[in-house]
Amino acid sequence: MKLILASNSPRRKDLLKKFGFEFDIIVSPYEEKPISSDPVLTAETFALGKAQSVFDAVNDGEAIVVGADTVVYLDGKILGKPKNELDAVKMLKSLSGKTHKVVTGYALISKNKTIKGSVETAVTFNDLSEDLIAEYINSGLWQGKAGGYGIQDPFALVKSYDGSLNNVIGFPTETVCPIIQELLK
């Protein structure tokens, strides 16, 4: 069986590699369009859409395709990837001193099986100063990340988290990797 990651996320690639999997990467053409304010429904739908589009394109009965999507959820709103620096600043200010949810949806598709689900982690931010926000924005590390931040970045943004760190980074390995191992058997 061939394993395919339907993502161009360097963080997902690194996390999957850490678990010793060999895989190909095919970036999904799936277009993420807002469907709901429900973070679980959104993350799972986007993950399935990504995996399904790559599975259909590969059309290989010997492939397992893994898709994932991470969303940040605060005060009834989904925070996606910031469009620009101003958007990132706005997101970081809204997260400052508060607890939010990070939901990563996942989908695995093989010839005989489709498995989807999601993992949720609560993340509490420190109170962020204007200087810290400016320094983080200037680093460019906010780009391409849900909520405009990476928990793994070397800045004192996050006070604590409850749940999976890898989920916040973008791929809930503790949940997904055993499923992959089972499907590869």
Tens of pLDDT, residues 1-45: 899 999 988 899 999 999 999 999 999 989 888 788 899 999 999
Please state the three-class secondary structure of the chain as a single string.
CEEEECCCCHHHHHHHHHCCCCCEECCCCCCCCCCCCCHHHHHHHHHHHHHHHHHHHHCCCCEEEEEEEEEEEECCEEECCCCCHHHHHHHHHHHCCCEEEEEEEEEEECCCCEEEEEEEEEEEECCCCHHHHHHHHHHCCCCCCHHHCCCCCCCCCEEEEECCHHHHHCCCHHHHHHHHHHHHC
Class of domain 2-184 as given by CATH: alpha beta
What is the average pLDDT value for the chain, to the nearest integer? 94
Catalytic, 69? Answer yes
pLDDT-derived band of residue 185, with 50, 70 and 90 as boundaries? confident
What is the reported pLDDT for 82?
95
Is the per-residue pLDDT at 61 higher than 90?
Answer: no
What is the reported pLDDT for 35?
82
Share of the chain above pLDDT 90, in %: 84
Is the per-residue pLDDT at 172 higher than 80?
Answer: yes
What is the reported pLDDT for 38?
94
Calpha distance 69→43 (Å, rounded) = 5
Among the options 69, 75, 131, 162, which is catalytic?
69
